[in-house]
Structures are given as C-alpha cells and as structure tokens.
Amino acid sequence: MQVMQVIAEILKREGVSTLFCFPTTPIIEAAAAAGIKPVVCRQERAGVHMADGFARVSNGRPPGVFAMQYGPGAENAFAGVATAFSDSTPVVFLPLGHPRETAQLFPMFKTSRTYASIAKSIEEVQLPHEIGNIMRRAFAQVKIGRSGPVMVEVPADVTGIEVEVDPANYHPVRPTRSAGDARDIDDAAKMLIEASCPMILAGQGIFYAEATPELVALAELLQAPVMTTVDGKSAFPEDHALALGPGGGSFTGHGRQFLHKSDLVFAVGTSLTRHGVTTPVLPAGKKMIHATNDSRDLYKSCAIEIGILGDAKLVLAQLAEAVKDRLGGRVRGNATAREVAEHREAWLARWHAKLHSNERPINPYRVISEFMRVIDPAQAIVTHDSGSPREQLHPFYRATRPRSYLGWGKSHQLGTGLGLVIGAKVAAPDKFCANFMGDAAFGMTGLDFETAVRCGIPITTIVLNNSTMAIETHAMQLSHNRYRARDLGGNYANIGRDLGGWSERVEDPSQIGDAILRARRQNDEGRAALLEFITSQEQGFSHRRGAAE
C-alpha cells in the first residue's frame, strides 16, 4: 500500500469518519477512497476550527482531523492550530510537506520546524516504512494525559511510496489514566470539610475526563458552589442550585460574590493559567487545592496548599469517598444553595432592563434573552465569538449539559466560533448548533458559512450587527473621531442568502424569538441559516464593572 493509503486506513481504525481539509494534498483522495468524508473549507484557519469544534463535542473520541497542503496551506492554518494548542484540544493535523530534497532549503516554510511551539507532538515521516509506528505515537499523544494538537508531516515525495505495512495489524490506541495519591486525597478532603465556605473552580478537563457526575456529587456532599472557567462552561450544570456560572473576563453577580467570600478554592480540570479572559483572578491570600493531569500546571501560577496529579474523574471520585468517610453520615445544610439563589435573583434583577429591552437598534442582551426563552439548552450547542458577543453571552446563557456550550478565549482570532459550530454539528447532528458573532468576526471567516451550506451542515449563525467595533471604543477614540476608524458595514443576511443559505434580517425586538424559531425549522429541514440582528453599540465588557454591582 502507499503511505497515504496506510494513513487513511489507520484513521478509519481510530474511528475517524470525517476529514476536515483544504486542497491540495493526496491524503484527501486516499481518505475518500477509504470511506472517510472530506469537508473542504474555504480557508484553512476556519477548517482547523471545524476539526477543533468536532473534537470538543466528540470529546476526542475520535479526535478531529485536519489535512492541508505545504506552503500556503500550512501557513494559513497556523493561527487555528495555535487556538487548539491554547485550549488543549485533541486534533490530529496532517500537513503535506515539501519534498525531502528541498524541504531543508532556505527559505522554505517547514511545518515540523515552525509548528513546534504550538503542538503537543510533531513528527515528520522521513522513513516511510515507519508510518504505522508514527501514527500510533501521534494517537497516543492525542489520547493520553493532557490533550492537545499533534502533527504528522508527510513530505510530498513520501505519500505515494509503496510500503509493506498492513493496517490490519494496527490496533487503536487505548487511553490510560491515573488516580491521585492517597495522601494528597486524604489531606484535601480534610481541608475541604474544615473550610467554612469552600468553592470549586472547574475547567475543561472535566469534559475530557467525563467527570461531570463526580463533580456534581462532590459539590453536593460539600454544599460547595461551583464556578467554571470560560473553557469549562457547561462542565457543571448551570441550572443546579450550586452553580455560579463562569468566571474570567466577566462574572455573574453570584459568582463574584462567592469568589470573594470563599475561604478555600478547589480547582480541578483547569491549568490555572493566568489569563484575563478565560480564568478568574483569585483574590490574594486565598487557600487553594489544585487537581490536574499535567504536572506542569502545579504551582505555576499561584501558591497552593495541596497539588493532586491525576485524572479529574478518578480524583473527584476519590475525594467524594474520602469526604463521605470524614462526614460519617452527616449532611451539610442547604444554606449555601439559598444564598446562591438570592444573589442570582438580585443580579438578574439589575440586568432585567437590558435583557428585556424594547429599544431600537436592538439591545444584544435582548437577543440572548430571547434565545434562552425559545431554545431548550439541553437540545442545543452554543458558542460565541471574541469580544462583546463572548462577554455578553457567557454570563447569562445557562448551559445545562456537558459540551452544550463551547467556551474559549486564550489565544483566538475573530471568527473562531463559526468553524467551531460547524465541527460541533458534524459531531452532534441531532443538536441545534448556533454561534453568536459580531460583524467584525463575520468579516474574518464569514465565507465559510458557504461550507456549511455546501456540505449540508445545518447550523445557525447569529450576527449581532452594530456596524462598529464597539469593544475598541476606548482604545480608538482619536482615530475614530478623525477618520471613523471603528466603523464597519454590510448586509450580512444578503450575503448568507447569496451563499445559498436561508437568512433573515431582524430590526424589531418583538420578532427575535420567532426569527430564531424560523431558523431552527430551516436547520431541521437541512438548511444552514443566518440571522442578522441590527443591534446597539452595547459593550460586553461592562460586566467587569456591572456584574458585581
């Protein structure tokens, strides 16, 4: 078999049925011959995001896979791979490489050299007969421990080489995981019980460990409220009495209240990477316990009392048993749940006017409120885009199932959400998959809405069109006053229609809910839909100030 055929057969054995890609690479033809459907994007970065979104919703089983050509293809994909790396997403990248005889020549763009800083592992196929071992190593890296993008670069002169490798002898990699040290578990349980107001901070590691049931069980035993990172939003059901919502660039009112009140924070499934958008900044002097599956995370950003190295599901189960033993059958009261409810209701009351506004142009918070009113979050997968849409959506949207919300923000470009939701729909075709984006984000990746149309992937894209870069208001005052530097323009509903999808432009706030339901019906009939809401220049970052007031 040729090398590219062996790769395609191994992908099949690992459960891969969709290849996100952009030509030209012969791996696309080999994959199609093996029965793997190619989804050809319009731009490599957006295609990488599709593989990323697929991997998040599939939980890496199987991982997302993206293939691209050497030179421009690999160069254009770089930003998307950086996104996957920042979020530790399990994606396998198969870039075509320059032929071996020219790959080392200056100034050739060599993927295996250039991508080393944003890949968990990267390997070039220099010895064609080793392709089976190389692919096995790649899948081991993407499945075991802290996940992240892995890359196998296949030089163009290698793809067609005949090798005596039988894919039938390839056995899919079996994931492995480790529990926490018994001493650390016992000490952590003691600290958690002795704390007067413990709080749990959960990250996206909960998803990959499939640990939501264990997280809920421990929270209920301790009567400890749970906040998530932005990446971890939906890891804990946000309709639960102990849910504080996400924390990072913005917070819920009840989340901020308990973040400051708590005397002990148990962080689990999060790297605690210092980042102003995705991870809450913990008040100084806060006692902490940290559980992670990557030793590099422990003690890196803050001092902690106890570090636990292990899989989130196993660690949470161990802690629950240790807490039960120490409680000796005692049950903690529900005073914390009542306090969470009181603060939540007070916070929502402060935001009621924006969430139910009848103003024109439409207040973007009204769009979010109407979306929640007409769409059951248990039946949906929702994501945002950078800037105002993220900060406006993620504190208020109540995600009730794991992976029903795709949060992100560490190292991401405008337009990321569109690709993510296309990949999510491929992984979960029974869900209503919607992305919220601004007009600036649409300008970055909007043409890949046509990918959803052409490939029969019925998503709903919601464009909040305020005709400006609102989040840059304070940063670009002079340039805007003199040269209108923040102004944007366009009729995005027309673009969506011209790209072959169903679309609608909405200016009347009373029509928001009905328009969302019309879009959903179009999705149910197999059509991609685009809704353009003409909105005010409300800035999402007001949460940093207003959420706690």
Cα separations in angstroms, 208 against 139, 270, 409: 15, 11, 18
* pLDDT in the model for residue 549: 42
Beta-carbon contacts of residue 476 (< 8 Å; ≥ 6 apart): 469, 485, 486
- 3-169: which CATH architecture? 3-Layer(aba) Sandwich (3.40)
Strand positions, DSSP E, 269-391:
287-292, 306-309, 380-383
Q: Which two tokens mark 538?
A: 């409300």
Query: What average pLDDT is seen over the chain?
Result: 95
Sheet holding 64-68, edge to edge: 37-40, 18-22, 64-68, 91-97, 150-155, 121-124
Domain ranges of the chain: 3-169, 182-339, 356-546
- What share of the chain in percent tops pLDDT 90? 87
The alpha carbon dihedral of 355, 357, 362, 363 has a sign of negative
Tens of pLDDT, residues 34-73: 999 999 999 999 999 999 999 999 999 999 999 999 999 9
* pLDDT in the model for residue 329: 81
* pLDDT in the model for residue 349: 97
Residue with tokens 């220099």: 126
* Contact status, residue 121 vs residue 85, Cβ threshold 8 Å: no
Tens of pLDDT, residues 492-505: 999 999 999 999 99
| Nearest alpha-carbon partner for 411 in 298, 277, 250, 300 | 277
| Nearest alpha-carbon partner for 224 in 204, 203, 181, 194 | 194
- 356-546: which CATH architecture? 3-Layer(aba) Sandwich (3.40)
Compute the average pLDDT of residues 223-230: 97
Tens of pLDDT, residues 232-277: 999 999 999 999 999 998 899 999 999 999 999 999 999 999 888 8
Q: Which two tokens mark 319?
A: 């802690």
**What is the gyration radius of the CA atoms in the chain, in angstroms?**
24
d(CA 370, CA 511): 9
* pLDDT in the model for residue 545: 43
* pLDDT in the model for residue 471: 80
* Contact status, residue 369 vs residue 280, Cβ threshold 8 Å: no
Tens of pLDDT, residues 319-342: 999 999 999 988 788 899 999 999
DSSP H or E segment with residue 27: helix 27-33
Instruction: Kindly state the DSSP code that residue 403 receives in the 8-state scheme.
Output: T
Beta-carbon contacts of residue 181 (< 8 Å; ≥ 6 apart): 308, 309, 310
At position 424, the amino acid (one-letter code) is: A
Beta-carbon contacts of residue 87 (< 8 Å; ≥ 6 apart): 52, 204, 231, 408, 410
Compute the average pLDDT of residues 285-312: 95
Tens of pLDDT, residues 355-395: 999 999 999 999 999 999 999 999 999 999 998 899 999 99
Do domains 3-169 and 356-546 share one topology? The answer is yes
Q: Is the pLDDT of residue 542 over 60?
A: no
d(CA 361, CA 285): 45
| Nearest alpha-carbon partner for 392 in 244, 537, 515 | 537
Helix residue spans in 223-311 (DSSP H): 253-261
Helix residue spans in 226-311 (DSSP H): 253-261
What is the pLDDT confidence band of residue 522, given thresholds at 50, 70 and 90? very high
Q: Which two tokens mark 236?
A: 């804990």
For the segment(s) 182-339, the CATH number from 3.40.50.1220, 3.30.565.10, 3.40.50.620, 2.60.40.10 is: 3.40.50.1220
d(CA 213, CA 219): 10
What is the pLDDT confidence band of residue 541, given thresholds at 50, 70 and 90? low
The alpha carbon dihedral of 299, 302, 307, 308 has a sign of negative
DSSP H or E segment with residue 93: strand 91-97
**b vs e for 178-213, b when ≥16 Cβ sit within 10 Å of the residue's Cβ?**
eebbeebbbbbbebbbebeebbbbbbbbbbbbebbe
* pLDDT in the model for residue 414: 92
| DSSP codes, 72-107 | HHHHHHHHHHHHHHHTT--EEEEEEE--HHHHTSTT
d(CA 108, CA 29): 25
Q: How many Cα neighbours within 13 Å face the side chain of 510?
A: 0
* pLDDT in the model for residue 547: 46
Tens of pLDDT, residues 129-150: 999 999 999 999 999 999 999 9
Tens of pLDDT, residues 427-477: 999 999 999 999 999 999 999 999 999 999 999 999 999 988 888 888 899
Between strands 150-155 and 243-246, the pairing is unpaired
DSSP H or E segment with residue 11: helix 3-13
What is the pLDDT confidence band of residue 532, given thresholds at 50, 70 and 90? very high
Beta-carbon contacts of residue 519 (< 8 Å; ≥ 6 apart): 460, 502, 504, 529, 530, 531
- What share of the chain in percent tops pLDDT 70? 98
What is the pLDDT confidence band of residue 186, given thresholds at 50, 70 and 90? very high
d(CA 544, CA 549): 10
d(CA 206, CA 215): 8
